[in-house]
Amino acid sequence: MTRSLSAALLFSLLTNFAVADNATWKAGTAKANITPEQPLWMAGYGGRDKPAEGTYHDLWIRVVALEDANGHQGIVLSSDTLGIPQSIYNNTCAALKEKFGLDRSQIMLHSSHTHTGPVLRGALYDIYPLDDEQRQMIEAYSDDLEKKIVATIGEALAKLVPAKVSGGQGIATFAVNRRNNVEGEVPKLRETDGLQGPIDHDVPVLSVRSMDNELMAVVFGYACHNTNLSFYQWSGDYAGFAQYALEDVHPNAVAMFYMGCGADQNPIPRRTVELAKGYGLRLAAAVERVLAEPMQEFTPSLQTEHEFVTLNLGKEPTREELATMAGAGSSYVNRWAARLLKDVEAGKPLEHTYPYPLQAWKLGEKQKWITMGGEVVVDYALGFKKSYGDDTWVASYCNDVMAYIPSLRVLDEDIPPRKSARWGYEGNRSMMVYGRAAHRWADDIEELVADTVERLMERLKTKKQKPEPVSK
């Protein structure tokens, strides 16, 4: 070997070692105000009888963009919305693919599930007596929201800088299983440690810091409905208070909430601003405790997977049943039945399946993050953490919120006649709220979801990373 060749080889090896040593994450953040300027109808409660009347605190979308050492990017977006519907998810993904080359596996669109946010395009239309003017306002707002999402993600991508990404986990205890506990009895049950039913009190925390250790973003989750507030003012409920509190302490950071599998979990007691603020401050304090302790720093590696699984709806309602339910009245049940009856009489087939989005990320060597569409009951999170380890985060209300996603246990409990007066909603009556053309999902829902998640997790195990970049 000649001296010049040896020198070249040595230089190449040293350069590669230097690149490996200097490998790092990159991150960028951005946020945008999405508070409606028009008096839109508010999403979440079927008993509402008028549009919003003002703002308690502003609604936001917040974004952190991540890029690993190989240039693979991932987008995390939080939103003060009840749920991102399918049309906004699909349109946003198409725009992000065209503008930035991102595929669905790289995009997480989280909803806080606040019940004091706006109705969005094509979602929950049967609940409210919307006239043409209101529908047009909802459509216009949704169009604008799509543009803001894409623009805000683009802003975050344009601001990528070297960063450190870490994870940890805290705890908050205000969530209560609403299926297994009478709300008025909860205070006494707490005193006697008598609360019943499965819960998930974990508070997963993702920290993104600059290289000089300044907090850029904190992403945190909790499995509990945002149903403290039912007034007619825009707000992010307890999650909104938590985000505001964290940003007050860390003014240069974005604080981003995501909902865990809280479809059957409520904050109890509830219904006052003071309680909503108190729960938000408790959640923020849980996050702060995690940030104050040593966290697990992730090596700059991001793997992303996504799959749609076709979920089957249960038996469709008969024409006679729909005609009876569509009779006199102005409830969401009447509107749901009347709409489906019109489709049946026009010869339009009712839906029998739904393309359900599932996603899995791996950050660094160990941290797994599963996202699920819809309002998912707590059984799924508990089961996935048992199967894949405690270092698994599980988010629901992500990417597309189309219905409740019950476990087989909940489905069975909600079949009439029911043993409990508190049963029936998550696995049965809620399907009408979301406009699905059946009273319930088919019995194979849990199996289909679990099998798909298993495939995603296996792909994360076997996926080969691109080679490290080499300086030339």
Domains of the chain, residue spans? 23-302+370-396, 317-345
Burial of 365 from C-beta contacts in 10 A (0-12 / 13-18 / 19+) = exposed
Distance CA 135, CA 431 (A): 21
- Amino acid letter at 390? D
C-beta of residue 396 within 8 angstroms of C-beta of residue 356: no
Best CA proximity match to 432, nearest among 125, 227, 224 = 125
β-partners of residue 27 are 66, 161
SS3 of 177, please?
strand
Do the Cβ atoms of 378 and 394 come closer than 8 Å? no
Instruction: Please give the helix or strand (H or E) that residue 297 lies within, else none.
Output: strand 296-297
The alpha carbon of 23 is separated from its chain's Cα centroid by a whole number of angstroms, namely 30
b or e along 184-193 (b: 16 or more beta carbons within 10 Å of the residue's beta carbon)?
eebeeebeee
Q: Give the model's pLDDT for residue 66.
A: 98
Task: Please report, as a single letter, which amino acid is at residue 28.
Answer: G
User: Longest C-alpha distance within the chain, in Å?
Assistant: 94
Q: What is the pLDDT of residue 329?
A: 78
CA dihedral angle for residue 247, residue 66, residue 165, residue 285, rounded to 10 degrees = 20
Spatial separation of the C-alpha atoms in residues 317 and 337, rounded to whole Å: 9
Please calculate the CA angle 208-217-176 and round it to the nearest 5 degrees.
105
Residue type, 43: A
List, for residues 318-370, the tens digit of each pLDDT value: 999 999 999 877 889 999 999 999 999 999 999 999 999 999 999 999 999 99
Whether the model clears a pTM of 0.95, i.e. scores above it, the answer is no
CA distances from 12 to 17, 154, 367, 467, 472 (A): 9, 35, 32, 15, 8
State how far the Cα of 315 lies from the Cα of 324, in Å rounded to an integer: 17
Instruction: Specify whether the CB–CB gap between 326 and 341 falls below 8 A.
Output: yes
Give per-residue pLDDT as tens, 145-184. Answer: 999 999 999 999 999 999 999 999 999 999 999 999 999 9
Tokens 């989005």 -> residue? 357
Q: Give every residue of the chain whose pLDDT is below 70, as ranges.
A: 1-22, 463-472
Cα–Cα dist 31/34, whole Å: 10
CB atoms within 10 A of CB 469: 12
Rounded distance, CA 125 to CA 119, Å? 8
Write out the H or E segment, with its range, that includes residue 28: strand 25-33
